[in-house]
Structure 1
Amino acid sequence: MKYILALDTSTEACSAALLVNDNGQTSEYVEFDVCPREHNKRILAMTESVLQQASINLDEVDLIAYGKGPGSFTGVRIATGIVQGLALGANKPALGVSTLAAMAHGVYRNQFNLSGDIFVVPAIDARMNEIYMAAYKVTGKGIVETLVNEQVCPPESALEQLNQQQKWTAIGTGWQTYQQELSTQLVADIYNQQPFPSALDIAFIAAEQAKTQTLESASDISPVYVRDQVTWQKMPGK
């Protein structure tokens, strides 16, 4: 796939990215800002900006990827709804990517001297004294492999299942809010450069997953809340 457009509004950050793969050479166009409660106002303008930077229009995009959660209920719904509209209007396939996996890939992407695999435990503050967490191995080639599935849990017992002998990197607002509770369970290097997911990492993961996964139509697009009591209404007639 040559053009992958990605959007994310799952946390306090809002971002859009276009990943261009042209005969093995990649180009990246990114709009990213931490702007709580402004996602509805910003995301479409960010999307238009990355397309303009690459001098293409939506009709030329091969795939629209999106942060499917977990994260803010409202934020996840915003991205999911907008991607549904874009995919339906332009007749484009879509692919949802875990925001926690995107955070793990972000650690990999921003460590320029990285060699070998890294082990990342992202955590997002889920409010109500809980966190969204998962654990991943990111290979030296940037492939994100799930070690512990996404879950919502109290921070006091979130990390007991992890290998204490492994060197871990921690990232996310969950670690900022509950650093004492989490650090007593696991020794980890806390990555503070960028605690939020980025649409660029969603695009990179989608590029890899699209090789083996079935792509979504507009009617298939849905968020992941992790908390079971939250429901999602698809577009009318879908």
Structure 2
Amino acid sequence: MKILAIETSCEQGSVALLVDGAILSRRIDGAANHSESVLRDIAALLSEAGMHASQLDAVAFGAGPGAFTGLRLACGVAQGLAIGAGLGVAVVGSFDALALQVPSPRVFVATDARMGEVYHATYVRDEQDVPRLSGAPRCDAPENIELPEGRWTAVGSAFAVWPDALRHRLALTLDGCHDDLVARADEVAMLATHMAAGGLLRPPEQAAPLYVRDKVALTTAERLARGGRA
């Protein structure tokens, strides 16, 4: 199976090309560079593999949660490529891709959502060793997040941004913490192969990001109430 994947939900973006189990990938550092680099890097990957987009089986993108601009970029590029090549789109949760990097039975994913909040979700691996989401991703203040009973391995940027409110407060329930990992196009492509095999691809026009929070920025009054500047 041949899958092209795009993941730009956070500062460290990436694109990947999966061809019959082998993966080629490129990293895009800095959110400001995503829109400038993503098409160029996709073209470079296809050229390296000696392929054209029409030879792909599907296009995949990391749908979030994450930065609004990055999610829209990944979705738009995936839609454009899929329409041009007559392909379906795999809409893959960015948290799913992040959880797949951690070989633990129970994974707690949390990323910084800005504005004093955190995107978070929990995953439990199934009998095929694939992390399955247990409840929809949410957005909450870090000090208000509680974990279900049991032991969890933590992953995501929120644990570096909010060490006291998350890592230290929940230490008794955590078996480890990987605050340096981010969602990658590699895992987006891997998960997309299962979706393609299961008939879960969407027509390009039906592909959409996962928006957990509708609000993009705080008002002046809200910033002042949180000790910020007008």
TM-score range with shorter-chain normalisation? 0.7 to 0.9
Partner Cα separation in structure 1 for residue 65 and residue 207 of structure 2: 14
> Partner residue of 1:235?
none
> Partner residue of 1:123?
110
State the superposition RMSD in angstroms. Answer: 1.8
User: CA shift at 1:206, angstroms?
Assistant: 1.2
Partner Cα separation in structure 2 for residue 118 and residue 32 of structure 1: 28
| Larger CA Rg, structure 1 vs 2 | 2
Out of 55, 59, 81, the position equivalent to 2:54 is 59
> Partner residue of 1:72?
67
> Partner residue of 1:179?
163
> Partner residue of 1:114?
none
User: CA shift at 1:61, angstroms?
Assistant: 0.4
TM-score for both structures, normalised by structure 1: 0.83
| 3-state SS, counterpart of residue 149 of structure 1 | coil
Matches within 5 A, 1:143-222: 143-158=130-145, 160-163=146-149, 165-166=150-151, 168-183=152-167, 184-186=169-171, 187-188=173-174, 189-192=176-179, 194-222=180-208
225 and 139 in structure 1: CA distance in 2 versus 1, 3 angstrom threshold = same
- Checking the alignment, whether the CA contact within 8 Å between 2:195 and 2:201 is kept in structure 1 is no
- Checking the alignment, whether the CA contact within 8 Å between 2:106 and 2:124 is kept in structure 1 is yes
- Checking the alignment, whether the CA contact within 8 Å between 1:105 and 1:142 is kept in structure 2 is no
> Partner residue of 1:15?
14
Partner Cα separation in structure 1 for residue 140 and residue 87 of structure 2: 36
Partner Cα separation in structure 1 for residue 91 and residue 140 of structure 2: 23
| 3-state SS, counterpart of residue 31 of structure 1 | strand
Mark the runs of 5 or more structure 1 residues left unpaired by the alignment: 109-116, 231-238
User: CA shift at 1:5, angstroms?
Assistant: 0.8
> Partner residue of 1:32?
27
Partner Cα separation in structure 2 for residue 213 and residue 145 of structure 1: 18
User: CA shift at 1:176, angstroms?
Assistant: 1.0
> Partner residue of 2:220?
none
229 and 98 in structure 1: CA distance in 2 versus 1, 3 angstrom threshold = same
Higher alpha-carbon deviation: 146-155 or 56-65: 146-155
- Checking the alignment, whether the CA contact within 8 Å between 2:31 and 2:70 is kept in structure 1 is no
| 3-state SS, counterpart of residue 64 of structure 1 | strand
Partner Cα separation in structure 1 for residue 46 and residue 101 of structure 2: 22
- Give the 4+ runs in structure 1 shifted more than 3 A: 138-142
User: CA shift at 1:211, angstroms?
Assistant: 2.9
Partner Cα separation in structure 2 for residue 127 and residue 74 of structure 1: 14
Partner Cα separation in structure 1 for residue 120 and residue 166 of structure 2: 11
| 3-state SS, counterpart of residue 38 of structure 1 | helix
**Alpha-carbon deviations, 1:155-180, whole Å to 9, x = none?**
1122x2422x32x2211111111121
Q: Which residue identity does 1:220 align to in structure 2? A: Q
Higher alpha-carbon deviation: 78-87 or 138-147: 138-147
Partner Cα separation in structure 2 for residue 197 and residue 50 of structure 1: 19
Identity within the alignment, %: 31
Number of positions where the alignment pairs a residue of Structure 1 with one of Structure 2: 213
User: CA shift at 1:82, angstroms?
Assistant: 0.9
Q: Which residue identity does 1:106 align to in structure 2? A: Q
99 and 135 in structure 1: CA distance in 2 versus 1, 3 angstrom threshold = same
Q: Which residue identity does 1:76 align to in structure 2? A: L
| 3-state SS, counterpart of residue 69 of structure 1 | coil
211 and 144 in structure 1: CA distance in 2 versus 1, 3 angstrom threshold = farther
